[in-house]
Structure 1
Amino acid sequence: MKLSHLAKASLMLSLSAITVLNASANQDTQLEEVVAAGQKINQSAAKSQLKVNSLTEQVQTKLQQFNTVTKELDGLNVYNQEMQAQLDNQITELAQLAKSMEEVSVIERQVSPLMARMISTLENFVKLDVPFLPQERSKRLNDLNTMMVRADISVAEKFRRVLEAYQVEVDYGRTIEAYSGLLTLEGQEMDVDFLRVGRVSLIYQTRDGSQLGQWSESTNQWQTLSQDYRLGVNKALRIARKQLAPDLIMVPLTNIQAKL
């Protein structure tokens, strides 16, 4: 059976339409596959980016930690250098202290005899000196001798007290002082006022002012003074007791009389 030209054309058109439809269907399927693949790639890229971001944050954190630790390490190195310098200085000081302690032991063995000689010299000086404040000065010397045999007082403290006693004796030579005491005159003990002007004059006056006397270095005894000195002595006593302002006083000088 033979088809007419029209039938052939229709058949060809139908076949072409079917082919186009099939091609279009295939293209849609391929497009969907491409889109799906693209979505998978995008999802994979997003996941990869998240991993990259996470790793970047971790790297930044580790880097900050590293920088912090590095700074701490630098600080510790500087601190260790300072501590080492201090330690070296302390070791040097310890060596010097050890040497000083050895020298102190030698000095202590030498200082004790020196102090004993100083006290003995001071005792002789007081015996030869003008006899003022005998009880006070004698007690000071006795306290020094007692102190020297005590083990609970350091050598430094002993030496300080010996020097202090010397300083007190030195001060006597440049001060004026009035004090009361007992004095034996012509076999009778009397209450008198003493006036000390440095070490150049030591005078007594009875409380009623009836008798005046002066220590003589040439005879080592008391000598009677004229009543002409009474006003000067009374003025000097009041100045020494701070009852009058400092002023010029007229009193006899023991040392000058002794030299004369």
Structure 2
Amino acid sequence: MKHTFLLPVVALFTLASAPAVHAQLITSVSSTAPATDVAISFTTANYSATSVNTVGMGWKGDTGSRRDMGQTFTTTTSFLLDRITVQLQFVGTSAPGANYSLSLYEFPSAGSLTASSTVGTWTGTLPGSSTLAPATYTFSNGTVGPFLTFDMPNVTLSASTTYGFVLSFTTLASNESLNFWTKGGGAYAGGQQIQTGTAGATTFTSSGNDVLFYVQAVPEGSTFAMVLGGALLLFWVRRLRRTASPASR
């Protein structure tokens, strides 16, 4: 008896396990902002930026001044999460090459500071100093940069729901910090900048500011291709099982 359906079953298992393979986040730096498939964002284009209302807020792994930092946001439609991008103001000397974790939470509302559930936590390593050069970037007339992007696993986000991402350095080291550009005084109605000094916390505080961010969705064509591929694979498995059935009697 030949188990002719074994190969597609293994392939199906591999397809179903794909998100686990992507647990190590890919982190990249760009001089330009995301321009396609942006589902939600809060940027300098959303308000009149000045040197007074656009400030920096530090994500820190510094010993004694730890700050895990992130931002909540509210969806309008459901979509498959692809990437999260923030804009940087300053890079500490120990940040390049540092290990970190990114947690994604669901919140009861845009004004809540306590997560209702954890969607997932993933790990990654920041780019090295040749890409993420320690420097101070000058703010002028709303121009900020560079842009730090976290390539996320494909997680389905529901419509009309508040989510939040929180970044945490794995180790604590002197000058292990990244400053994110934020809008002082708050302006994004769908969420808020959140922070904590406690590792693994799900209750946060807010500075009253908002992180400049971009949340991108998986392109619709790619989503359809994944669904179609999965359906065809399942059809193939069932067909081969029927073909192999008489031989196994």
Structure with larger Rg? 1
Give TM-score, length-normalised by structure 1: 0.18
Give TM-score, length-normalised by structure 2: 0.18
Structure with more helix by fraction: 1
Structure with more strand by fraction: 2
